[in-house]
Amino acid sequence: MDKKTLHLIILLIVVVIAYWPLMEFLGLNPKPKVEQPLPETADTTLQAVDTSTQTPMPQQEIVAEAPLEIIPEPVIPDTIPIDTITVETNKYHIILSSLGGGPVSIQLKEYFYRDGAPIEMIPEPDGPATEAAFGGGTFTTGKLPFTSSSRGHYVAQSDSVIVTYIYTQPEGGQIVKKLTFYPDEYHFNLEFEVNGREYFGFERQYSLIWHNSLDVTEPNLEMDYQSMEVVAMMSGSREKLGDYKDDRLNQSLAGYTRWAGIRSKYFAAVMIPKNREADGVFGRGFKTKINTPEGKIEKRNLSVGMDMPFANVTTFADTFTIFVGPLDYPLMAEYDVDLEDMLDIGTTPIVGWIIKPFAIAVMWILPRMYDVIPNYGLVIILFALLVKIVTLPLSMKSFKSMNAMKELQPKIEELKKKHKKDPQAMNQEMMKLYKKHGVNPMSGCLPILLQMPLFFALFSVFRSTILLRDAPFVWFITDLSRGASSFTDPYIVLVLLMIGFQFLSQKLTMPSTQQNKALMYIMPLFMGFIFYKFSAGLVLYWACFSAFSLLDYFLFKRNKVKNAEVKTA
């Protein structure tokens, strides 16, 4: 492997990792295209299944003055209690409030903080997570006193549970929110209906908003906050709303929107219109510096909304699927609305279409290997071995080429001295020398270049998907999704092993020129500096792949000795 090729590989690594931020900086990221709206379809009728252990009380009417005009915050009469309902599914523990008529707590039952507590998807709520806003936000459902005929605790273990909230004005007009929870789904359905629109004075459009920011869940708070972003699927293109000005986000995009949501490193909350697409999306939020044991970091607080137009009619209704759960690619792909693109795997322009098939293959293969070997560390080692076996013929060809380059090195040095003042003549003579001895200087790097799509696929998968979260390996490596937080973190041991194996591999295979000797030390250290904060699973894979390359080399040397013995026999 020559110096120019190594420089090319380093450049490829840096460019692919930094490609999307660079495109945004240059202002070359694609904008959403305007398309014709999809035809509206009839709402799906949901059948309520009452699984409560208590007898529902008859619906109570609100006996109090309701506002006839749009006001910033409706007054809540003291005579109206703020009731709560709890719903238990196999995925969630949910608390709903009659103030705003929606969930104020959604705890995941299968995912936990590092202290063992269930992850809360609505941290520090000041109202229900989803609210509808009219008149540019002057009227919101988040502060309305809804009533419900349901009371108490409901369990959805085999059948769905429906909770209906109603807000009624004495003079006319009614807002209905029907929420359906399913036993084994990471989503709930929201049916939003307004009857007597003219009594409220609503016109043109409203916004459905998820106004609660997500919580940090990972040990590396800084990377978790950096992963938080507002994302939308607009006209088939993944759009990130991240145009901060003075640390504040107030960005809107117009265009047909299939879904919109916010994500953290491994979790997301997404609103998906079911009967029609939204007309636009907006992101709101801010960044602020906070003190942590690791120093000052940048905290993000985000919300997302979609613009839903409506006709000048008395009654209108919309239905939404509200996904609240893990960034699990196969799970999100089942929604058939490109929801998996929330993970940003294979969405990078130009190179994304190359990486995506490899990423999908990785996400399909690794869990199935885990079913047989229930340790993702061992799975990654075995996967690296399988990849090395598949690429073994190319590796043998690579070692043969590099060995020939070693043998030609003295002649190459003579040509450099002879034509040091005429680079063109030197290159011509070197090409003649390569051709005479049947050597291709690029073939030594062919296996590595072919590995690049798989490597970047692994980088995307381990960075974004929840596959390796909390996955233990051995000893102190209890979470393959995290990297070393500093150079004194015990996880740095994996990085040192990777550097060591890569150094030995290069030392045994690279021609021993003065330039290559420098690269033998610089390249592994450079890769270690890049890798040390990456997922431990990715570091483990690259370390194992480098170690198996040593086995390739010794196998090549053994075959070379055998062939030499045959020729001299």
Domains of the chain, CATH where assigned: 3-7+366-568 (no CATH), 30-40+50-57+69-348 (2.70.98.90)
Half-sphere exposure of 355 (CA within 13 A, CB side): 19
487, exposed or middle or buried, with CB in 10 Å at 0-12, 13-18, 19+? exposed
E-assigned strand segments in 229-358? 229-234, 237-241, 244-245, 248-263, 267-273, 278-292, 295-309, 315-326
- Residue 525: the pLDDT is 85
Residue 210 and residue 250: Cα distance in Å, rounded?
15
- Residue 114: the pLDDT is 87
- Residue 111: the pLDDT is 95
What global pTM score does this model have?
Answer: 0.77
Neighbours of 220 (CB within 10 A): 19
- The angle subtended at Cα 56 by Cα 54 and Cα 61, nearest 5°, is 150
- Residue 562: the pLDDT is 52
Q: Which residues in the chain land under pLDDT 50?
A: 1-8, 16, 19-80, 565-569
- The angle subtended at Cα 31 by Cα 29 and Cα 36, nearest 5°, is 155
With b for 16 or more beta-carbon neighbours within 10 A and e for fewer, the 163-201 pattern comes to bbbbbbbeeebebbbbbbbbbebbbbbbbbbbbbbebbe
- Residue 399: the pLDDT is 67
Strands 248-263 and 278-292: antiparallel
- Residue 81: the pLDDT is 52
- Residue 71: the pLDDT is 31
- Residue 282: the pLDDT is 96
Residue length of the chain: 569
- Residue 427: the pLDDT is 79
Residue with tokens 């990456």: 534
Cα dihedral 558, 564, 565, 566, rounded to 10, equals 110
Residue type, 467: L
